[in-house]
C-alpha cells in the first residue's frame, strides 16, 4: 500500500516528539510497526524535508524538530508548514480556530507566534488544533486572510 508523504512526515514528527529516535534504522522500524513502512532513502528525504536535527541525548544523539527561534521562522517556512499540515480554519469573534493534520498544531502555533503579527494576542496548540487569539474581533478576519494568502 502506497502512503501519502504528508501523512508519513506527520507521523515522523509525532514519533520524534514523543519518543527518542537515534537512527534512521530505528525510525524505519517504528514506522513499519505503525503500518507505514518506508525505505531508507525515503526516510532520509523526509528528515531533510522536515529539517530534523540531531540533539544530544544520554550518551548519543536523537532526532528533534529544529528550534524555530534559532532558525528564524520566515514567511516561506510558515507557507510550507501551512501547505503541508493545514486542513482548514474558522473565524469566531476574536478567535481563529486552525485545524491541522495530527501532530501539526504545535509547529504551526509556534510559527505563527514567531511571525510577530500585530493582530495576534497569542496562540494555544493541541494535537491537531491551534487556537489563535486576535486582539479584537475586527482583527480575526485579518488573521484568517493572512493564513489564506500563505496557503
pLDDT in tens, 111-146: 888 888 889 999 999 999 999 999 999 999 999 998
Phi/psi of residue 100, nearest 5 degrees = -130, 170
| Confidence grade of residue 50 (pLDDT, cut at 50, 70, 90) | confident
In the chain, CATH 3.30.1360.40 sits at 68-150
| Confidence grade of residue 2 (pLDDT, cut at 50, 70, 90) | low
Residue pair 147/96 in contact by the 8 Å Cβ criterion: yes
Phi/psi of residue 82, nearest 5 degrees = -65, -40
The hierarchical CATH code for the domain 68-150 is 3.30.1360.40
Q: What is the DSSP letter of 66?
A: -
| Confidence grade of residue 71 (pLDDT, cut at 50, 70, 90) | very low
In the chain, CATH 1.10.10.10 sits at 5-64
- Identify the weakest region by mean pLDDT among 68-77, 80-89, 120-129: 68-77
Whether 1 shows a pLDDT value over 50: the answer reads: no
Average pLDDT in the chain: 87
The hierarchical CATH code for the domain 5-64 is 1.10.10.10
| Confidence grade of residue 3 (pLDDT, cut at 50, 70, 90) | low
Give the DSSP H/E element, type plus range, for residue 129: strand 129-134
Q: How high is the pLDDT of residue 64?
A: 84
Where are the alpha helices (H) located in 59-116, listed in sequence order? 68-71, 75-85, 105-115
Residue pair 77/97 in contact by the 8 Å Cβ criterion: no
Amino acid at each position: 500500500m502506497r502512503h501519502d508523504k504528508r501523512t508519513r512526515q506527520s507521523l515522523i514528527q509525532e514519533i520524534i516528539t514523543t519518543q527518542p529516535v537515534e537512527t534512521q534504522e530505528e525510525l524505519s522500524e517504528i514506522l513499519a510497526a505503525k503500518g507505514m513502512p518506508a525505505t531508507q532513502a525515503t526516510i532520509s528525504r523526509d528528515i531533510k524535508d522536515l529539517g530534523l536535527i540531531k540533539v544530544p541525548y544520554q550518551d548519543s544523539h536523537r532526532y528533534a524538530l529544529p528550534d524555530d527561534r534559532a532558525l528564524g521562522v520566515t514567511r516561506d517556512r510558515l507557507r510550507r508548514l501551512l501547505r503541508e499540515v493545514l486542513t482548514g480554519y474558522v473565524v469566531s469573534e476574536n478567535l481563529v480556530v486552525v485545524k491541522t493534520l495530527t501532530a501539526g498544531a504545535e509547529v504551526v502555533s509556534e510559527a505563527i507566534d514567531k511571525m510577530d503579527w500585530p493582530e495576534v494576542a497569542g496562540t494555544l496548540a493541541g494535537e491537531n488544533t491551534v487556537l489563535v487569539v486576535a486582539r479584537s474581533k475586527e482583527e480575526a478576519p485579518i488573521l484568517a486572510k493572512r493564513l489564506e494568502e500563505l496557503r
